[in-house]
Amino acid sequence: METNQLPLQDLRVLELGTLIAGPFTGRLLGDFGAELIKVEPPGKSDPMRNWGNSKEGTGLWWPVQSRNKKSITLNLREEEGQKILKELVKKTDIIIENFRPGTMEKWNLSYEELSEINPKLIMVRTSGYGQTGPYRHRAGFGSVGEAMGGLRNVTGFPDRPPSRIGVSIGDTLAALFATIGCLVAVHERETSGRGQVVDTALYESVFSVMESMIPDYLLAGYIRERMGNILPGVAPSNIYFTKDKTYIVIGANADGVFRRLCEAMGQPELADDPKYATHGARGEHMKELDLLIEEWTKTLDAKESLAILDKKGVPSGLIYTAKEVLEDPQYKEREMIVNVEHPILGEFPMPGVVPKLSRTPGKVKYPGAETMGKHNREIYGELLGYSEDKLTELQERQVI
């Protein structure tokens, strides 16, 4: 039975980072109820406000990335701004930052200084190369992390240069690992009563999902390369062209599933053919097998072939664009497209919350703040008790 309680609603988070990796961590925590306070320098917004497509002068990525976040402005380069942040730290559980290592220290906001003010403070730090090591001071973006982590080398087709995935996967992976580390630190704090630093590097986050890349090389002398839509030695697992000029994905590399695929194709004898009967044999004869499958899919429209495959229990599907996502009943049933009211754009669609919790599910309460400092009075006035005169004076001097 669902409750109105959000699982992280007892946590207050200050988000100091910009662009993707740090703020995506904030988004994930905010989805489950943490009070997220997004900090931007006065007069200089997070570039994400203007990234991507826009409508009526409003960037369409920002409301998604900054949903469930309150917006304040604060100049951390000035001593007075640093003092104000330290006041906020007294009432904060977590700080998220993704500046180049050494920036927080330069601003007199090192973890050592802040943890003296609040020993329970958790600082989530995401950077290109981590807080230690010979590369720690280098600038790092997700694209470089994807390259150094090994992902770019295996993405694309063998006759073409390394490619990128169509989303900022390096930043997102780093944010996911940072979120896991953050929640681990929150849990550990229940025992120790102390906070700690969560140090996440972009390249390490990518490298962490690279499966058996290192033992493949060290123990088998094999270097993974770009293979397009296939995995070496794993077949059938590819895309196949259909009669109505559509590609579908079929994954039937397990023995039992492959037998069901052969039945769906009306060629059950293939499952016992020595060339295809085992995982190893199918891997050796991958090209030949893929051609046989595509000969079958080309005789049917995508919808027809998928219906047959589904009936036989063979994993398969269309390659979706936004249009198919919006039309799909599975997405609707799972509430994976949610609409929230935007003050400028009206009803605004965005991805739902992942994962689903049975009793205390997350929630998208509102989109990213359309103006910088929208919640200055709430945070500085109500949380810190600043008077209206002080707020006006701080604003005039560009401290907030």
The set of catalytic residues is 171
Q: Which amino acid makes up residue 247? A: Y
CB distance 331 to 325 below 8 Å: yes
Q: How far apart are CA 60 and CA 343, in angstroms?
A: 13
How many C-alpha atoms does 217 have within 13 Å on its Cβ side?
Answer: 8
Single out the residue of 172, 194, 186 nearest to residue 164, CA to CA.
Answer: 172
DSSP letters for 9-77: TT-EEEE---SSHHHHHHHHHHHTT-EEEEEE-TT---GGGG-S-EETTEESSHHHHTTTEEEEE--TT
Instruction: Note the residue count of the chain.
Output: 400
Instruction: Please give the structure tokens belonging to residue 14.
Output: 């200050």
Measured between alpha carbons, how far is residue 292 from residues 23, 205, 299, 303 in Å?
Answer: 47, 39, 12, 19
Contact present, 316 and 248 (Cβ < 8 Å)? yes
Q: How many CB atoms lie within 10 A of CB 49?
A: 21
